[in-house]
């Protein structure tokens, strides 16, 4: 088939992302052989600065362009993301804050401070129940420094250890900036001190700290009693920049709604990629736009608000908003909102797309980032674009993207699929993708699937992996952090493709296995089998998820048992019909029968012995039973064991997460911790587990 100019250019686009790939034989993980698929991927560019209303989970009560008022009601634990955790004083380093049911609880020693810099005209207000009323209060910390701050605290205990004359008093102290007299000693100076009010355990109190210039005022208002006001001036050079927050040192409290109001530190915002403006409403008075800038903001807002009933004379055209994206003289918040508005309206073709495409080669970096943000959702994953790449590469990419969009609608209307620069019929695309070197890449922020199966099978697998990912989040209780995603899964059409990649990529010893994972490279390898699809892939992916979500290695029996929980086709522990995924089912089939027979015949190892076994050193028959017992023990702990045993199992998992173990010692240490956590209950575990296995 002859190539058109467009097709030749698009084929060239597929090579752009490979420019940074390691050479053959120089795999980044150190293995001999070719790099794995996806190793040529580029990391996404760093995000653009975030406007204030994108930066905070709490409520922005007021904003006038210079001052801001914020409130946190602690209904959602995600509000803690507005604060950085830090250690306010270097004594007793355990403790911290957590959110539940509208309460911010604090225990031990820890601090949190607002992720927004403020100047020396601010206030912090909060009500609290003082569970343990010692060394609890408000901190005005110097940005990016944990040891320089003003602390306004009640019922001092910590500082009394250094200065017996202080007594149990409420104080304003200035910490840091003073040479320490000994390692581990926190130096401080009194700004103000008072014996009143004397607060008992469980006291309800309201704190109000105000900072203006060098003066700090600390109001303590217990319920049912007169407020006490402490006021003082910095005893040395006054601090002028702050990140305000709360702290506790050896005490405990439950905080209600927190309010912080103050003058925004523009220098802090510039250094931390925060735009001191509002994106949700560009006409917000706090944005202080005037003249042509305000006119552009108004047009973007009108564009977002207009609908089919908007009169033609009042309509704002796509091209007008597209032009704003590339105008360097406009505030970045307007350009960001203009790009988002185009995405929300779903621009698809024509001169508007051409204008955005041209920005891929703009001299202004924000324009390039915003253009790629607008265009990326409409492009196949095969396209690669580096906003910081050479000008020549950027120009070529812009040309290729433009050609793609101009041909896309007609090709899709004919049912064609875009493959390596060509629009092909689905059957032709499947024939091309059957070659592993040209296999499908299906991707989301969570999952990467590479397979040389047909397009229909690829879609089916991908949907199953996405469903399994959601189930893994539910079971583990959290996702892997973004830097550990996506999880990569390779599904090979046949044994020959699997064997070839193993031999070429440094895994010759695994070529006969049919499936395995490389935890360090975050990649699973699976050979397709129609009767077992998609569960070998789901099971292998679960091992990647466990490693990446917890950042820990896990004992072999636990990893294999959890893998089978999410779906072992031999045990029939899961089902997938293309829409609904079911996992955690009780095993059926031959392996379950073998396990039951071993239990009934007294041949099943007790739990402690089982955890000490290395399946690689077992005979084929015993190894088969070991894997089945791994599933059974994990399943029993998860679903069948008494509540008290399940609680200890949860404690064991928490203990494992608190240890940084290696693959070499994780099995032995996991067994040792198990015996410690279940001390006095091991026989109960053995008896209960054995009785249940006999019923399989």
User: What pLDDT score was predicted for residue 15?
Assistant: 29
- Neighbour tally for 122: CB within 10 Å: 22
Place of tokens 């893994």: 472
Q: What is the Cα–Cα distance from 188 to 182, expressed in whole angstroms?
A: 13
Omega before 534 cis (within 30°)?
yes
User: What pLDDT score was predicted for residue 190?
Assistant: 87
Count of residues for the chain?
Answer: 696
User: What pLDDT score was predicted for residue 546?
Assistant: 94
DSSP codes of every residue in 364-384:
SHHHHHHHHHHHGGGS-TT--
Q: Which two tokens stand for residue 142?
A: 């110097």
| Kind and range of the H or E run holding 274 | strand 274-275
| Kind and range of the H or E run holding 6 | helix 5-16
User: What pLDDT score was predicted for residue 182?
Assistant: 61
| Local structure of 688: helix, strand or coil | helix
User: What pLDDT score was predicted for residue 101?
Assistant: 85
Q: Which two tokens stand for residue 564?
A: 């089978």
CATH class of 54-272: mainly beta
User: What pLDDT score was predicted for residue 179?
Assistant: 66
Q: Are 398 and 357 in contact (CB under 8 A)?
A: yes
User: What pLDDT score was predicted for residue 22?
Assistant: 29
Q: Are 107 and 96 in contact (CB under 8 A)?
A: yes
CATH class of 440-548: alpha beta
User: What pLDDT score was predicted for residue 412?
Assistant: 87
Q: Structural domain boundaries of the chain?
A: 54-272, 440-548, 552-696
Could you tell me which of 507, 616, 207, 448 has the C-alpha nearest to residue 439? 448
Q: What is the Cα–Cα distance from 130 to 137, expressed in whole angstroms?
A: 10
The pTM score is 0.65
Beta strands in 560-696 (DSSP E): 575-576, 581-582
Q: What is the Cα–Cα distance from 152 to 28, expressed in whole angstroms?
A: 51
Which residues sit opposite 103 in a β-bridge? 100
Q: What is the Cα–Cα distance from 476 to 657, expressed in whole angstroms?
A: 12
241-264 and 67-72 beta bridge pairing: antiparallel
| Kind and range of the H or E run holding 466 | helix 455-476
Q: Which two tokens stand for residue 636?
A: 């029993």
Q: Are 170 and 158 in contact (CB under 8 A)?
A: no
User: What pLDDT score was predicted for residue 184?
Assistant: 55
Q: What is the Cα–Cα distance from 117 to 612, expressed in whole angstroms?
A: 54
Residues 6+ apart with CB under 8 A from 22: 28, 35, 39
Q: What is the Cα–Cα distance from 404 to 418, expressed in whole angstroms?
A: 9
The C-alpha angle with vertex 136 and arms to 134 and 137, in degrees rounded to 5, equals 145
User: What pLDDT score was predicted for residue 352?
Assistant: 79
* Gyration radius from the chain CA atoms: 31
Instruction: Give 10-residue mean pLDDT values along the chain (696 residues).
Output: 35 30 33 62 72 94 97 94 83 76 91 95 97 94 86 86 76 80 69 92 97 96 95 89 93 96 96 94 96 96 92 91 92 92 71 84 90 82 82 89 85 87 89 94 90 95 96 91 91 96 92 93 95 94 95 95 92 92 91 90 92 92 93 94 92 90 94 94 94 92
Beta strands in 101-148 (DSSP E): 103-114, 118-132, 136-141
Q: What is the Cα–Cα distance from 56 to 73, expressed in whole angstroms?
A: 13
Which residues sit opposite 109 in a β-bridge? 249
């Amino acid at each position: 088939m002859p190539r058109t100019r467009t097709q030749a250019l698009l084929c060239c686009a597929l090579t752009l992302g490979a420019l940074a790939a390691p050479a053959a034989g120089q795999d980044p993980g150190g293995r001999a052989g070719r790099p794995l698929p996806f190793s040529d991927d580029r990391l996404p560019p760093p995000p653009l600065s975030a406007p204030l209303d994108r930066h905070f989970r709490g409520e922005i009560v007021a904003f006038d362009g210079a001052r801001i008022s914020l409130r946190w009601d602690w209904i959602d634990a995600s509000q803690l993301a507005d604060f950085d955790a830090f250690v306010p004083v270097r004594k007793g380093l355990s403790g911290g804050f957590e959110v539940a049911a509208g309460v911010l609880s604090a225990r031990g020693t820890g601090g949190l401070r607002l992720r927004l810099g403020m100047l020396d005209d601010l206030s912090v207000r909060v009500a609290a129940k003082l569970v343990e009323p010692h060394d609890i209060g408000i901190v005005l910390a110097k940005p990016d420094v944990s040891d320089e701050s003003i602390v306004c605290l009640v019922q001092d205990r910590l500082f009394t250890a250094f200065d017996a004359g202080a007594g149990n008093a409420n104080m304003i102290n200035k910490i840091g900036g003073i040479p320490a007299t000994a390692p581990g000693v926190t130096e401080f100076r009194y700004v103000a001190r008072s014996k009143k009010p004397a607060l008992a355990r469980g006291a309800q109190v309201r704190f109000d700290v105000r900072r203006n210039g060098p003066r700090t005022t600390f109001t303590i208002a217990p319920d049912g009693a007169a407020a006490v006001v402490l006021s003082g001036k910095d005893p040395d050079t006054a601090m002028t920049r702050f990140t305000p927050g709360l702290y506790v040192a050896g005490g405990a409290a439950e905080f209600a709604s927190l309010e912080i109001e103050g003058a925004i530190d523009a220098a802090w915002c510039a250094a931390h990629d925060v735009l001191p403006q509002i994106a949700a409403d560009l006409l917000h008075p706090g944005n202080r736009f005037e003249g042509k800038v305000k006119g552009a903001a108004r047009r973007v807002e009108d564009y977002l608000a207009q609908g089919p009933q908007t009169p033609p004379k009042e309509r704002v055209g796509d091209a007008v908003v597209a032009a704003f994206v590339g105008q360097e003289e406009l505030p970045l918040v307007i350009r960001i909102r203009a790009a988002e508005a185009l995405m929300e309206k779903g621009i698809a073709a024509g001169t508007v797309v051409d204008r955005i495409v041209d920005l891929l080669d703009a001299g202004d970096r924000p324009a390039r980032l915003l253009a790629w943000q607008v265009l990326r959702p409409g492009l196949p994953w095969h396209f690669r674009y580096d906003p910081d790449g050479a000008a020549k590469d950027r120009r070529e990419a812009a040309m290729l993207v433009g050609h793609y969009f101009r041909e896309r609608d007609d090709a899709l209307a004919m049912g064609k699929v875009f493959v390596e620069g060509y629009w092909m019929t689905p059957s032709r695309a499947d024939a091309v993708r059957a070659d592993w070197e040209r296999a499908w890449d299906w991707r989301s922020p969570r999952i990467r699937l590479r397979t040389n199966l047909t397009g229909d099978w690829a879609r089916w697998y991908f949907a199953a992996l996405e469903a399994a990912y959601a189930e893994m989040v539910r079971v583990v209780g959290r996702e892997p952090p973004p830097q550990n995603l996506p999880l990569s899964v390779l599904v090979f059409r046949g044994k020959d493709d699997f064997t070839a990649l193993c031999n070429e990529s440094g895994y010759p010893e695994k070529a006969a296995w049919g499936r395995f994972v490389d935890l360090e490279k975050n990649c699973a390898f699976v050979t397709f089998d129609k009767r077992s699809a998609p569960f070998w892939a789901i099971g292998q992916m679960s091992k990647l998820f466990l490693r990446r979500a917890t950042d820990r290695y896990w004992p072999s029996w636990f990893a294999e048992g959890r893998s089978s929980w999410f779906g072992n086709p031999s045990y029939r522990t899961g089902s997938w019909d293309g829409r609904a995924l079911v996992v955690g089912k009780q095993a059926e089939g031959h392996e379950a029968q073998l396990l039951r027979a071993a239990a009934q015949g007294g041949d099943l190892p007790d739990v402690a012995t089982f955890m000490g076994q290395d399946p690689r050193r077992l005979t084929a028959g015993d190894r088969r039973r070991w894997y089945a017992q791994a599933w059974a023990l994990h399943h029993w702990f998860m679903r069948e064991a008494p509540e008290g045993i399940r609680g200890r199992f949860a404690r064991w998992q928490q203990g494992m997460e608190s240890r940084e173990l290696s693959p070499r010692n994780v099995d032995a240490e996991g067994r040792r911790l198990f015996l410690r956590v279940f001390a006095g209950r091991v026989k109960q575990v053995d008896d209960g587990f054995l009785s249940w296995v006999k019923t399989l």
